[in-house]
Amino acid sequence: MDQFTLNLIVVGATFALYFGIAIWARAGSTAEFYAAGGGVHPVANGMATGADWMSAASFISMAGIIAFGGYDTSAYLMGWTGGYVLLAMLLAPYLRKFGKFTVPEFIGDRFYSGTARVIGVICLLIISITYVIGQMSGVGVAFSRFLEVSNATGLYIGAAVVFAYAVLGGMKGITYTQVAQYIVLIIAYTIPAIFISLNLTGNPIPALGLFSNEVNSGAPLLQTLDQIVTDLGFKSYTQQHDTTLNMFLFTMSLMIGTAGLPHVIVRFFTVPKVADARSSAGWALVFIALLYLTAPAVAAMARMNLISTIYPGGVKEAPIAMAEAPQWMDNWSKTGLLKFEDKNGDGLIQYVADKEANELTVNNDIMVLANPEIAQLPGWVIALVAAGGLAAALSTAAGLLMAISSAVSHDLIKGQLNPGISEKGELLAARISMGVAIAVATWLGLNPPGFAAQTVALAFGLAAATIFPALMMGIFTKRINSKGAIAGMLVGLVFTVVYIFLHKGWFFVASTASFSDTAPMLFGIKSTAIGAIGALLNFVTAYLVSNATEDTPAEVQELVESIRLPKGAGAATGH
Amino acid sequence: MADKSSSNAYWKANVRTIQIFLVIWFVCSFGFGILLRPMLAGIKIGGTDLGFWFAQQGSIIVFLVIIFAYAAKMNKLDREHGVEE
């Protein structure tokens, strides 16, 4: 059986599983649509949160970025896990006690202002759409490879599938579908990693294999890797090359962004008890950590295998001949994401750091998907990885589209513009906003502002600068009033958006950029790291403005008192 | 609802707990993984140094321990102050 057929069978089977579970679970109750996680065991809820959280960025893109960036890219690993600590201690339990369904609803009530709620909606929309762009570029990569079409065609097909998937509705709300998606994606991520770790280090646990000795040389894997990449003129893998300031701010930006992501926060609104909100964050991180502890191993080993494919006799010998390039390179060059051109006409593939002499360009985002092919693993493993990548991208994209549509229909239209809207009208508005969001994301995904994980990192910066400070101040101080919160969110949002657009182009149209991330505007801070500064400005502005204006009303102070105590939480309500 | 002074004491205890865990959170990620890495450079592990391990794996394990420790501590505080559900 050829690889293409195998891919179709495995991906088709996993999709059939998700839809099957969805139909089976939907027959039970329609109330579950909103109350995802209610009455579900915290462990199952943790798995579902893991699937919701781990997107194309984590699955497809992150290890590829680490493979080429080494230690400097550790911010992705620390940032996308450390945020759960903040979520568990600073936000989740109190928002659960508050007991409503959306983030803008909390912002509107706590800051007693419809304007604050609308600004919350605007922030949410900007964050989520940026995030979906990252998902779409990941989906495009996965579909282009597994259907053997160009990247653009893959993107269109992916967009159609995501749209059908999200609009069919309720998929997000059905926790068990996401549990299945988590299981598919974690198996798909781990199995090739185990094979590769065994081959390279003899250690069946990839996370430990990373720090073991390499079988051929007998020296530690990371030491060998450092040696090989520096021999080719690349930056060493384990040393720091980025500035400490940028690394610090980037990690901070991803962490507080994690805690400020609306589609993650809402998962904790509906757990049965306040105590469960705390432990649910822990369980979610357990299942996320299974992938995140493996990812650095996947990254280093993929880099190693890529180089040994090109230099079969070692980096001191001549590289492989173009005519003898392995099948996977041919396959990926069809997608346009891997290119080789014989610049010096010797028929060999030179892969070196020097841009003039280098003849091989590899898009970071293909590394995880190509990894099993590079390591010459069996066909079913390759098919499984394709299925896992799609599960990761689809579950998160669907979750984000749900967040977008509920913000538009529930918070914006029903909450502010037209409170008398019929239920049918609300549903229609929800579907239209989903359609618009996905069209915009697909169009921008054709020329994304970065690799999937970098685009997603921009979304985190925006969440860090807007939603996280507003929520945290809303809970931990009574003094921040509506004027302070509104000013803070606006300053954080505008500062961060403008900084990102100056570097990535206005509305991500690359030709309109004034700066680049290789030579950023302020103190070497890249656009992916600026969210931390935006957050700081948000905090400071909110504090200063609140102190200069009136105190918060007594009933708001009582609200803050009450969300701080777990007692008397009751079930979450929609209205 | 519990009386005012007892809720205040509960909230103060919670904030103190959060502060302690945030210090650990910061030291094990931003500290050992980034700022203090040069200081840990002498401790070798698997072809690199301890700071690299903290940045890529160690911090994640610490995060897990923090969340479950906080959850356990708060369950105890909830009961002591009579504010549990």
Q: Is residue A517 part of a domain?
A: yes
Q: Is residue A509 part of a domain?
A: yes
What is the mean predicted confidence (pLDDT) over B30-58?
Answer: 89
Here the ipTM equals 0.94
Phi, psi of A204 (to 5 degrees): -75, -15
Our count of domains for chain A comes to 1
| pLDDT value at residue B1 | 46
Q: Is residue A350 part of a domain?
A: no
| pLDDT value at residue A534 | 95
| pLDDT value at residue A165 | 72
Q: Map residue A100 onto helix, strand or coil.
A: coil
| pLDDT value at residue A571 | 56
What is the residue extent of each domain of chain B?
A: 4-80
The Cα-based distances of A382 to A145, A186, A267, A376, A387 in angstroms read 11, 14, 32, 9, 9
| pLDDT value at residue B27 | 95
Q: Is residue A491 part of a domain?
A: yes
What is the residue type of A486? I
| pLDDT value at residue A32 | 46
Query: Given CB atoms, is A81 within the 8 Å cutoff of chain B?
Result: yes
Find the domain containing A440 and state its range.
3-318+371-563
| pLDDT value at residue A91 | 92
- Cα Rg of chain B, angstroms: 18
| pLDDT value at residue A81 | 94
Query: Given CB atoms, is A63 within the 8 Å cutoff of chain B?
Result: no
Instruction: Find the Cα–Cα–Cα–Cα dihedral A73, A443, A257, A119, rounded to 10°.
Output: 160
Nearest by CB to A275, from B11, B14, B78: name it. Answer: B78
SS3 content of chain B, % helix, strand, coil (to 5): 80, 5, 15
Distance from chain centroid for Cα A250: 15
Query: Given CB atoms, is B24 within the 8 Å cutoff of chain A?
Result: no
Q: Is residue A35 part of a domain?
A: yes
Residue segments in chain A with a per-residue pLDDT below the cut of 50? 27-37, 171-173, 574-575
| Separation in Å, CA of B13 to nearest CA in chain A | 12
Distance from chain centroid for Cα A138: 10
Nearest by CB to A81, from B14, B15, B60: name it. Answer: B60
Q: Which two tokens stand for residue A353?
A: 């750091």
Q: What is the rounded CA–CA span in Å between residue A154 and residue A138?
A: 10
CATH classification at residue A65: 1.20.1730.10
| pLDDT value at residue A414 | 80
**Exposure pattern of A446-466 as b/e (b: 16+ CB <10 Å)?**
eebbbbbbbbbbbbbbbbbbb
SS3 content of chain A, % helix, strand, coil (to 5): 70, 0, 25
SS (H, E, C) A214-272: CCCCCCEHHHHHHHHHHHCCCCCCCCCCCCHHHHHHHHHHHHHHHHCCHHHHHHHHCCC
Instruction: Tell which residue, A512, A485, A486, has the closest CA to residue A500.
Output: A512
A19: CB partners within 8 A, 6+ apart: none
Q: Is residue A328 part of a domain?
A: no
Tell me whether residues A567 and B84 touch, CB distance under 8 A: yes
Q: Which two tokens stand for residue B62?
A: 């610490």
B 36-75 → A contacts, CB under 8 A: 37, 45-49, 52-53, 55-57, 59-61, 63-64, 66-68, 70-71, 74-75
Q: Is residue A363 part of a domain?
A: no
Check residues A72 and B2 and name the one with the higher pLDDT. Answer: A72
| pLDDT value at residue B61 | 96
8-state DSSP, A507: G
Look up tokens 């984590």; give the residue. A58
Q: Which two tokens stand for residue B73?
A: 């501590």
Q: Is residue A184 part of a domain?
A: yes
| pLDDT value at residue B2 | 46
Instruction: Tell which residue, A92, A134, A96, has the closest CA to residue A259.
Output: A92
Q: Which two tokens stand for residue A503?
A: 């570097």
pTM of the predicted protein model: 0.89
| pLDDT value at residue A486 | 95
Phi, psi of B16 (to 5 degrees): -65, -45
- Cα Rg of chain A, angstroms: 24
Residues of chain B contacting residue A476, judged by C-beta atoms under 8 Å apart: 15
Q: How many CA atoms lie within 13 A of A189 on its CB side?
A: 35
Nearest by CB to A212, from B11, B29, B46: name it. Answer: B46
